[in-house]
Structures are given as structure tokens and as C-alpha cells.
Amino acid sequence: MFRIAGAGSVTAARLSAACCRAVTSKQFQVHGASLHVLSSETSRKTRNGPAHRTPPSWQSVRAMASAGESQSKINYLFYGLAVLFGGGGIVYWWSRKYMRETSKDGSTSKKAAAPAAAASKEATEPVAETPVTATTKSEAPPAQPAAAEAPAEAAPDAESKKLLDATPQSYPDYEVMPEIPGHAKYLLIGGGTASFAAFRAIRASDAKAQVLVVTEEEELPYMRPPLSKELWYSDEPKLVEKMKFKQWNGKERSVYYNPPSFYVEPKELAYQENGGVAVVKGRKVMKLDPQKQVAVLDNGWEIFYDKVLIATGGRPRNIPVFERASQEVKDRVTLFRGIKDFKRLDEVSKNASSIVVVGGGFLGSELTCALGKRSRDSSLKVIQMFPEAGNMGKVLPEYLSQWTTAKVRGEGATVKPETFVKRARYSDGKVILKLNTGEEISTDHVVVAVGLEPNTELAKESGLEVDDTYGGFRVNAELEARSDIWVAGDASSFYDIKLGRRRVEHHDHAVVSGRLAGENMTGAKKPYWHQSMFWSDLGPDVGYEAIGIVDSSLPTVAVFAKATEKDTPRAVVEETGESLRSVTETEAEATLPAKEEGVVAESGETTATPEVESATDEAPAPDVEAAAKLVAEVEAENRVAPTPKEDYGKGVIFYLRDDVIVGVVLWNLFNRMPIARKIIKEGKQHQDLAEVAKLFDLHADED
């Protein structure tokens, strides 16, 4: 076995690339020898493993070649090639099999070595490298007593024995294996939800797939929703330190999708006969070469791939006033996104007297409610501000946005609508915010939650297109940017065959698009049509789910009903045992009667979709007169709903474009998303929305 390491030479790198692409097996066999090319970084030092051993010297190799054995001459030839192509930083590793057969003086006793090698083969060589068949057994000469034919095999020299004893037997030359593989059949860039969904889909289609994930974070794939929801409501700090939380039903759960034992060490991935998933943490892919199918990391390492998924997600968007602020101010601003940000804000909230949340969208409102709940048991003051007229004003109709704002205030926070920061300065350990209203606020910490910027740094260097309107990598309906390159999740500007080109920044979209990309990487060729949903919880008692285009600038029609104890996020988790509603909605969808199915399977396969009206055959008859009356009132008032003084217990809000329903919000109404998805998929005009509202069975749980 030969290991050649070039000292950063271009020729050695090209030779390595050729070897990686020429074969898919873990070794390149030449006359029984194995050739590996390692980078100078790997050859000179290990990244995380034990120190490398000292290689055999040139003189010892020459002595063995001069003994006249043909294999030695071949080895000697490769050593010379290593010097020629690799430069000064050469590391030459002798074949373990050959070293077992070689004595101190470099000579080989063939007759004695053959049976000895056969006897110890199973313990020293990977089984897959030299399979034994019935033919080879019958053709092999019968073993003879070693003492009668030849002297006993000479003991290996101290250097060879040390090499053999120190090498783990399950993998060849474990210590010199590169920490990051040089080739991956499936390479996933990014370690978020989209990558998780993709490698699950890949492994489902290709049971022996070897999947390599490269992520900038120092974390294994994890879910983000609990970072702004359940983790803040835990009464067990030690549990939170382990990034675990209790769902609304009391069931304990980790934010990580899989335990560490699920994953394979990256350096061992190529040796997994049954495949697996490996994660390279703390590394960034800087460039893709679509023609050569190479990914270049930030440390210069190159990974050849067959298929690659870009799931780089997004980075929190900042606002100019804080970008221009002094370093003292920047040190007291959190752009909330991942585990690191949660841990920082969690620690700050335990010691601060005041925190300002800038942003009135999903994340900003959730964090405000969470921090407000914590402020009830401490002296912490929580202030939320945003330029809209109410919380989630860009999504919800104005009357419902106003009601939501009142709900957030009830959680213990001070809410300042139509307010934004004009200047920020640092003074006496505090951040002083000058507002557009003329007011100044002194605070210990600022949280900015105003959306995401898709991570598209790869585009320019990799020849990929970025969408000028929506941001993100521009892909087709199959989520493919170029041949063998897919994009999923927040970073994808995709073509929705029902609603046109879009970019979505929600958990369920990451699941849906990641799964679709993974399936297409294995040859499925499916278009994106399965509408993803998103949800938000303002604590355990108020939550909503939405799908499609939900834009408050669109005309809306809403139907509400009296809520019951079952109509809360807490109740749905207690019933299903699952806090991720993208999961519970998928399960609800799979249990629909056949005649109500539109999208039923995670695989994305379609069934015949009936007309909307056909679904009413199975549903219990709701209060049709009451629903029709409310819809008539709404339409009579130019589709502006009643005053925010009403208690909107539960309901459905339709978003219309040219009298076609393009979006649906289910307010404290759960396990109905498959119906909403089907309505949007049909794309029909509806003159009588009272009939459509009956499909959601608003009065099912009323006494």
C-alpha cells in the first residue's frame, strides 16, 4: 500500500483528483498495491487524530528493491514517482502485507510468508479487499509444514511492528486517512433542516448512500422553531443547557434531529459498506466548479462530488442604524438565528434590566412573548417596536393584527407600533436608542429580528444565478440550478407550478424542498407543487398556521367561531405528541379519507384531486346560516372584518387574488391544513366562500 503526499504541488493535487474520480471504491489497486494522495496539510499533521508515524526511509526501500523481489521493484518505482510528482514533502507508507513478509535485511522468504499471510489475513486486512472464492481455494497449493520446507518467518523489524500494532484493524492505515473525504457521491452544503430532510430522502431512495454534510456551524443538524418557542418556557435550566425542552404536553425532546451516534465520522464515511451520513462542522464551501464537479472549502481542501445540494439558508438581516453604530453598541446587539444566539440571549435575559426587540414579524413577536413571560418573575423590562400598525402587520389583516398586538401586551411586554430607531449610541454601559417619535430609550441589550438575507456567496464564484427580485439561487421547478446542483430551503428562489416564482423562509418549506431535492438527486425528477405551510405560536394558548401567499395587502374574507379548550397549541401537542406542526399536518394529511386526498404522501406522489365541494360529503354540517351571515357582513363592508374588540377564538382567513384563493390562515384551528392545501392547488374562483368555509368544520368541537 502506498501513500503519496504532495507538498502542495499542483501535479499531486491533479493526481489526487484523478484517483478520486476514477474510482468509487476506497482504494486504487495497482498490482496488489494501493495508491492514495494526501494534501500536504494532512501529510504533515493530523487535524483531530493522533500524531503520524515516521515513514520508512529511502534507504530501506532501496535495500528491499535490491533484494530482487519483483514487488519491491514496483514499490521502488512508485516511490520514485512520488518524489517526482510530490516535491519535498513526501510521505511514503509501506504496504502492511508486504512489510509483514519482509525481514530486517530486506529479504523475503516466499514459502514461509505465504501461509503466514493467509493465516493472519482476516485479522489484518479488510475482508472486502481480497474475497475468497471456491475457485481460489481449489487452485491454491496445499499448505505444507513450515518447518519442513523453509525456516520460520523472520520477525518484522521494530519500525514495521510498531506500524502494524498502532493501526486499527477495521480501517486500513486509520491515522493517515484524511479528516475530510476527497469524494462524496452526495454532498450537502449547509447543516440545517433542508439538509436533514434531503439526506433522509436520499437514504430512503438509496439505502447504501454515503452522504457528506459540510456546515459552518459547530453543531449537528437541529431544528430552529424551539429556539423562539418552547425553550423559553422551560422551568428546568439544566435541561435547556443540554438544548432539550419539554413540549406543551410535557414530553422531553432535543432540538437535535439525531443523536451523535447516528452520524459517521467523516474520515470513515468511504469505508461504510451500508452507507451513512457524516457531518464536517466548522467549514465553509467557498466555491463550486460545476464542470469538474469540485467543491473547494475555506481551508483549500477539495471535495469531488457526483450530486450536490446547496442548503445554505440565510443570515439575519441587520438594519443600517446598527450597522453604522459603534463597536460598543454592536457588542450589545443580537441578530437572532441559531443555537449560539439563543444561548447568548438566554444568558443576557437572566441579568439584564431591559431588552428591546426590533421587529414585529413571526420571530420578533415570538421572542417578545417569550421574554415577556420571563419578565413576570423578574425585574426585566421587555419593549417591542416595529414600523407596522400591529404585530405581524405584513401578514395578518389589520383587525387581527391589532388583536394580536393586544395579546402580546398581555404577555407582559411594552409594544410600540409605528416606531423605529433613528440613532443608537453607547453611554455608561447602556445602549441609547433615539426613536422616530423623539423618545429616547435606554436598554441593556437589543434583539434584531427583521428577516433573513439568503446566503448566496457561492453564486458569483460558481457561475450560479441569483434572483434579482426575490433573492436566493434561481432554480427550476425541480429545484435544480445547474446540472447535478440543487438548492433547497431559504436560499432557493424556486418556480412554484401553481403560484409562480417564490422564495419562502419557513421551517416546513425547508422540510418540503429539502425532501424534494433529495428525491431528485436520486433521479425522481419531481416538480415543486406540494405547498408548504408555516406556523407561529404566541405562547401555549394562541397559534396559527398559514399556507400560500398570505399578504395583508390582498383582500381577505374571514370566518370565525367560538374557541374551545381543544383549540390551542398546547392542546394539539397534547393530542399528537408532536410540537412541529409540519409533522402533525403531514400525519393528518395521510389519514384523510381517499376522496379528500390531494397531497397525501411524503414522497410527493399525487392522487386524483376531487372538486372542493366533494369534501363536504364526509364533514359534519356546520352552522351554515351563521357562517353565511358573517361572510355577507364582511363582503358588505368591502372585506374589512369587524372591530378588534371581538374575541377571535378560532377561524379561517382567505387571501384572494382575482377572486381566487391564493392563501389561507388557520387561526387556532389545527389539523386542517390538507384542506387548505387542496383549495389552493385547485386555483378556482369561489363566489360563495361560506361554502368553502364549511370544509374546515369550525363548529366541530362546540357543545
Residues 61 and 76: beta-carbon distance below 8 Å: yes
Q: What would the 3-class secondary structure string for 257-273 be?
A: CCCHHHCECHHHHHHCC
Across 650-674, average pLDDT: 91
- Look at residue 383 and tell me whether its pLDDT is greater than 60: yes
- Dump pLDDT digits (tens) for 585-643: 555 454 444 333 333 223 333 222 233 333 323 333 334 344 444 444 444 443 334 44
| Average pLDDT estimate for 104-133 | 40
Instruction: Copy the grid coordinates of residue 373.
Output: 413571560
Under 8 Å between Cβ of 666 and 676 = yes
> Taking the model in full, what pTM does it have?
0.68
List, for residues 411-431, the tens digit of each pLDDT value: 899 999 999 999 999 999 999
So what's the pLDDT on residue 59? Answer: 44
With a CB cutoff of 8 Å and minimum separation 6, the contacts of 275 are: 203, 206, 207, 208, 209, 210, 211
Which residues on adjacent β-strands are paired with residue 228?
none
Annotate 576-635 with DSSP letters as a single string: HS-S-HHHHHHHHHHTS-GGG-SB--TT--B-PPPPGGGGGGTSPP--HHHHHHHHHHHH
Tell me if 166 sits within 8 A of 158, measured CB to CB: no
Q: Kindly report the CA angle at 358 between 353 and 364, in degrees rounded to 5?
A: 95
Contact 521, 209 (CB under 8 A): no
pLDDT band at 582 (very low <50, low <70, confident <90, very high): low
Give the integer Cα–Cα distance in Å for 519 and 488. Answer: 12
Query: What is the residue-averaged pLDDT of the chain?
Result: 75
E-only strand ranges, 374-420: 381-385, 414-416
Grade residue 31 by pLDDT with cuts at 50, 70 and 90.
very low
Residue 573 contacts residue 579 (beta carbons within 8 Å): yes
Least confident of 169-178, 531-540, 672-681: 169-178
Better-predicted residue by pLDDT, 688 or 165 = 688
Work out the pLDDT band at 494, boundaries 50, 70, 90: very high
Rounded-to-integer distance, Cα 389 and Cα 435, Å? 16
**Contacts with 45 (C-beta within 8 Å, 6 or more apart), sequence order:** 52
pLDDT value of position 700: 66
Query: Are 382 and 355 in contact, with CB atoms under 8 Å apart?
Result: yes
The answer to whether residue 117 scores a pLDDT higher than 60 is: no
Reduced 3-state DSSP string for 62-105: HHHHHCCCHHHHHHHHHHHHHHHHHCCCCCCCCCHHHHHCECCC
Residue 338 three-state SS: coil
pLDDT in tens, 215-244: 999 999 999 999 998 899 888 889 999 999
pLDDT, residue 647, reads 65
Q: What percent of the chain has pLDDT over 90?
A: 47
Give residue 627's pLDDT.
41
pLDDT of residue 543: 84
What contacts 300, CB < 8 A, 6 or more positions away?
Answer: 39, 41
Residue 11 pLDDT level (bands cut at 50, 70, 90): very low
Amino acid (1-letter code) at residue 668 = N
